[in-house]
Structure 1
């Protein structure tokens, strides 16, 4: 990616314009292979599903199909995307909350349904004309924050008689969970609870053989986590009025200022994480399950259990960037410099978060002979005060000029697609897929990407039922 930025980006942006979301399917493939290697090395039978919701890229979906991994979808649109890329229904799993129209579609396609709540289960039983493959999503684990998703753990074993009585309508494949945290201890508690519930299901005469641990494997954004710690320390000092303000319009990022001190924790994404997804997965597989004295990997293999997981961010880690052009710079009376971009805030970061990864300034013309570093704030293109791409001062190596490019790293995992604004009729950023053959880069429309090697999927054309 660095090579592409250094050698090809300016030409691509000149040809296709900006803003751009650029995705790198070969990086995506490398990330998926690394996770599979962790599982295979420990002899764990598994099903790795790419969580489609992290990015709308068709190139990623086709790459996943070629690689032989499966896909996790959460809407009818994502189902169409998966089927259109060639995924057979047996390799598709549906998660998240589902209304009746979506449930009918899933049943018609015979997709595995990860059941979020009791209403969904009742509707599946009422609507299914054949044994529909399902998982039950479990929530409410001891010591874990409350979640709006899943069926409380203490209610799961009351469902065994219902499932046993409706074997002609539902086929229980296993239990699942998804935590809104990447903490190892929380995931281990959820695993322990689900293993106990699986044993209860076996004792009730059911035969589930899947433990689904969801996603939540984190990304590694920075090679220097110390810089993150330094920034938060200096930010706290600046919020107390010591030195030049570092934030726009007094933003505190979740800190509370009072009594001469700064309280609380910031609402930043986990940018300081240093544990790769592969290491986090390996640590879970090697962890000893409380009361069992064996590792999770050993329990899975000894009991012929499959491990399912639906990583999204981890497979998209460093597999995408977002590029915007500088439109103009503006000097405010207090000395603040605003750099206006042809991009909106929610096209590079979830609207409620602040991006802490510094963008890269790529000059579209020769850089100044005597560059002078400066701090600036990045402003978006919407006629809204809140459309500040950075509410923190960003340090650039020199004052950018109209046409220069800013590259936002590692945006493929949710950052570019969690919410894409269409206000003021601005078009969405174009999405291109970038591939490399030896030292030559090719950038073309994402929807037209075709993997170089044939895989187990052949793209097809489908339409909703």
Structure 2
């Protein structure tokens, strides 16, 4: 397995919020993540590849646990596994003492295979199938977050024992984030509105059920959120509705944003946890058990994607396109959300970045641009290009557009690189065909 043979030096990526904790550039100009030289990772595992600095993930998981514990409250940190669902990462989160939220039968299966105790699993989803609910009940999971009156009725019919549920609320608060990942507004496919009486109808339905027991309530405002004040408003609105029902559990979701670019400055994990806990403390006496559901903020900055540069196409007076061997099949976010990323030439990262470039994917879409305007160090065919902050919703949203196999995932720590998800092959692409 590849190991770093370099001594880190002071460099532009050290301390950057977009890159994994501890990322450096060695004296040979190579980027080092988790103690591993990315050029050696590329030689061993090929490109494109997702690379995770696992010490970064562990540090953020511990920051969440310590922040909650430090507020002197009873609660749990749940890994929102939709951000990056694969068994090695589930195992890591379990090792760090986290519980887990899953949003499908597939995620539930992976969490259980990875060793999560069923009572530490919370099941989400706005349209769970009967098969998914049966799977959850057969496994004996701890809690189901119900999202519609139809689901309440279905869950009651399928449950063969008393089952704890949380009712998902939509408090009518809209944080500043992309509309596609905003979920707490009144006009939402998720949850029960408080203002229109839907939430009260859900409470009545659970109370009338034979097998469901109301443990508490859940709300999630959205994802990639920087401003903290909307969380306070949402908790206050929820509390006014929830207090008469004396919840044992209040799950106030996740959503903390991360740095995708070096200039980004998201709130700290500690500030985020403190604000939510203190708002709940002001609103409830006695204080219910508090659940938080971070996903992106646990894994996003731990991940880096590496590519090999192919064509470098200069259009005089327009721009230079730097084409790589991946694109929207391994990172759909730029095309779906207009998301911004950094990039650098990882085998010459100590050189001046003087060529303003667009990093283009290999797919048959003009919109397949990973980074639209970034200064690179004289990009050449065969260079290794790296983009940070791809640990969340990269692998999770990967696809086989144009018949491109999905990349592998490599865990790096203390100079050791371990393959945890193999690269797909062209044989995999037809394995399900009949």
**How high is the TM-score relative to the length of structure 2?**
0.80
Question: In structure 2, what is the equivalent of residue 307 of structure 1?
Answer: 290
Following superposition, which runs of at least 4 residues in structure 1 exceed 6 angstroms of deviation?
none
Contact conserved, 2:345 with 2:384, CA < 8 A, in 1?
yes
Is residue 421 from structure 1 mapped to residue 395 from structure 2 by the alignment?
Answer: no
Q: How far off is 1:139 after superposition?
A: 0.9
Render the CA deviation track for 1:171-219: whole Å, top value 9, x for unaligned. Answer: 11110001126343322222123223332224xxxxx300000111121
Question: In structure 2, what is the equivalent of residue 29 of structure 1?
Answer: 58
1:169 to 203, 211, 224: 211
1:197 to 241, 246, 250: 241
Which structure has the larger Rg over C-alpha atoms? 1
Q: How many residues align?
A: 376
Question: In structure 2, what is the equivalent of residue 58 of structure 1?
Answer: 87
Distance verdict in 2 for CA 1:43–1:220, change over 3 Å? same
1:148 to 184, 189, 211: 189
Q: How far off is 1:142 after superposition?
A: 6.2
The gaps in structure 1 that reach 5 residues or longer are: 203-207, 225-271, 288-295, 449-465
Is residue 2 from structure 1 mapped to residue 44 from structure 2 by the alignment?
Answer: no
Is residue 137 from structure 1 mapped to residue 176 from structure 2 by the alignment?
Answer: no
Q: How far off is 1:140 after superposition?
A: 4.2
CA distance in 2, matches of 1:425, 1:222: 30
2:347 to 363, 380, 383: 363
Q: How far off is 1:418 after superposition?
A: 4.6
Render the CA deviation track for 1:82-131: whole Å, top value 9, x for unaligned. Answer: 01111111010111221222112112222211111111111111221111
CA distance in 2, matches of 1:108, 1:372: 56
Alignment of 1:261-410 (within 5 A): 272-287=264-279, 296-297=280-281, 302-332=285-315, 334=317, 336-350=319-333, 351-363=335-347, 373-390=354-371, 392-398=372-378, 400-410=379-389
CA distance in 1, matches of 2:217, 2:56: 31
Contact conserved, 2:329 with 2:404, CA < 8 A, in 1?
no
**How high is the TM-score relative to the length of structure 1?**
0.75
The gaps in structure 2 that reach 5 residues or longer are: 1-21, 26-30, 175-183, 423-434
CA distance in 1, matches of 2:65, 2:350: 44
Contact conserved, 1:362 with 1:407, CA < 8 A, in 2?
yes
CA distance in 1, matches of 2:325, 2:92: 30
| Structure of higher RCO (CA pairs closer than 8 Å, 6+ residues apart) | 1
Q: Secondary structure at the match of 1:21?
A: strand
Question: In structure 2, what is the equivalent of residue 104 of structure 1?
Answer: 134
Question: In structure 1, what is the equivalent of residue 153 of structure 2?
Answer: 122
| Aligned-residue RMSD, C-alpha | 2.4
CA distance in 1, matches of 2:323, 2:107: 34
